[in-house]
Structure 1
Amino acid sequence: MIADEGEARAWLRQLPECDDAAMVRLERLADLLADENQRQNLVSAASLEEVWRRHIADSAQLVPHVPRGTSPWMDLGTGAGFPGLVVAALRPDCEVVLVESRKRRIEWLERAASELGLTRVTVQGLRLEDVPARNAAVISARAFAPLDRLLDLSARFSTSDTVWLLPKGRSAQQELAMVRGWNHMFHVEQSLTDSEAGVIVGTLAGPIRPARKGKAS
């Protein structure tokens, strides 16, 4: 378990993706976040004191679940850019689509991506319901919506091979248990940054279709 800022940095450093250039991007992201948070409430002020554990490592723990070269990655309801901007900072060759509908958040995401030189990041400044359908290789969402609602909104972006990575805090197991009507291979993994939190990981085959009634003889 990652317990503090020093451990968060050390854990990041052991990731294959976290070379010196990636670490510079993450340092810059932390600085940009702290500066912007004075203008709009991107994250809680208290969490900035543990930004490396609470936001950067918490986002980066999703990366090892996905082989390098897997793209595109859609981050739904990305808000302040977590996990999407961290994913892009670690894998700048990956196409990362950040979905966010709030105007000031959209402006922040575009500015941050530009400042970090993340040329493969695009921001979809729309409500999720209005985002054009496309196939994603990875779908992430950090505390965006309850799992059943998220699947209703987002299954159209998924194929049977799409990897879903959903940090869910304490509600992970409960939300998974409440899913009905979907063929899925989801399970909960322990968060590396919070002993009481879980990450829902897996794939979605599609909705469960009712069995056809046989013809009367």
Structure 2
Amino acid sequence: MSEAPAGANGIPPEPPAVAAAVFGDRLELAESFVAILADTGVSHGLIGPREVPRLWERHVLNCAVVAEAMPTADASVIDVGSGAGLPGLALAIARPDLRVTLVEPMLRRTTWLSETVAALGLSGVEVCRGRAEEFHGRLSADYVTARAVAALDKLAGWCAPLTRVGGELVLMKGDNAADELAAAAPVLSRLGLGAGQVRVVGQDLPTPTTLVVIGKEREPAGAKRRGKRR
């Protein structure tokens, strides 16, 4: 009987060569995360079974390289709609200096996230259950990120109040990123955000990651100012 291929039946795939360059001496920790995703990530409905063979290329690596757009050392990061910890946990593994808050409204997902954080021993990660809007005025960070959550104009409305002035929204987007950015310009201005730019990171990956990076220039009129910086 032939041996099951990597990624089949919950068997985690082997890391590609580029993973060592992205994660360095924390590659083993990244492998543990991939193994969790292939196991309970699937059984909890956070990752589709067909995604297991491409967990590295399509998910974990593509999220980890978002750190290229976060040059500030010891920065705080909020991951909105974290789901399976993507990109938040991938960032926390690749960049142990980051202080990462995972914001997720669904109980079963936050339970899984908390268990995964504990299993990986990630001391710089906090899990917060709730919608992003519930944390406006309560949380703020140097960088706010999200992956495939909503259209850019709506996503900016959720993320901008969580971003400190001088910080940046670093949002994972697809091929239509430039069009979304242009269409959202009036909304971004009202939110106190700059014009933004499309940036591609992870050039050594099979499929590089496209980001929309938008700086927060000011608080909009009437905004709450009691948020804390993590």
Q: TM-score, normalised by structure 1?
A: 0.83
- 5+ residue gaps in structure 2? 1-12, 222-230
| Superposition deviation, residue 208 in structure 1 | 7.7
Q: Is the 8 A contact 1:72 1:137 kept in 2?
A: yes
Residue 214 of structure 1: aligned partner: none
Residue 165 of structure 2: aligned partner: 160
Residue 42 of structure 1: aligned partner: 46
Q: Following superposition of structure 1 onto structure 2, how do residues 14-93 of structure 1 map, counting pairs within 5 Å? A: 14-15=21-22, 18-20=23-25, 22-67=26-71, 69-93=73-97
| Superposition deviation, residue 93 in structure 1 | 3.2
- 2: CA distance, partners of 1:197 / 1:120: 24
Q: Deviations over 1:59-98 (max 9, x none)?
A: 0111122225242110000111001001111222321000
For structure 1, which segment, 129-138 or 185-194, has the greater mean C-alpha deviation from structure 2 after superposition? 185-194
| Superposition deviation, residue 39 in structure 1 | 1.9
- 1: CA distance, partners of 2:209 / 2:69: 17
- 5+ residue gaps in structure 1? 210-217
Using a 3 Å threshold, how does the CA distance of structure 1 residues 197 and 169 change in structure 2: closer, same or farther? farther
Q: Which has the higher strand share?
A: 2
1:140 equivalent to 2:145? Answer yes
Q: Which has the higher helix share?
A: 2
State the identity %: 28
- 1: CA distance, partners of 2:208 / 2:63: 16
- 2: CA distance, partners of 1:197 / 1:88: 17
Using a 3 Å threshold, how does the CA distance of structure 1 residues 31 and 60 change in structure 2: closer, same or farther? same
Give 2:215's aligned amino acid.
T
Give 2:211's aligned amino acid.
V
SS at match of 2:43: coil
Using a 3 Å threshold, how does the CA distance of structure 1 residues 151 and 120 change in structure 2: closer, same or farther? same
| Superposition deviation, residue 38 in structure 1 | 3.7
Using a 3 Å threshold, how does the CA distance of structure 1 residues 72 and 107 change in structure 2: closer, same or farther? same
Give 1:136's aligned amino acid.
A
Residue 201 of structure 1: aligned partner: 213
Aligned residue among 173, 176, 180 for 1:171: 176
Q: Is the 8 A contact 1:170 1:196 kept in 2?
A: no
- 2: CA distance, partners of 1:194 / 1:206: 37
Q: Is the 8 A contact 2:57 2:207 kept in 1?
A: no
Using a 3 Å threshold, how does the CA distance of structure 1 residues 130 and 28 change in structure 2: closer, same or farther? same
RMSD: 2.4
1:9 equivalent to 2:16? Answer yes
Aligned positions, number: 201
Give 2:150's aligned amino acid.
A
Q: TM-score, normalised by structure 2?
A: 0.78
Aligned residue among 156, 181, 186 for 1:151: 156
Q: Is the 8 A contact 1:170 1:197 kept in 2?
A: no
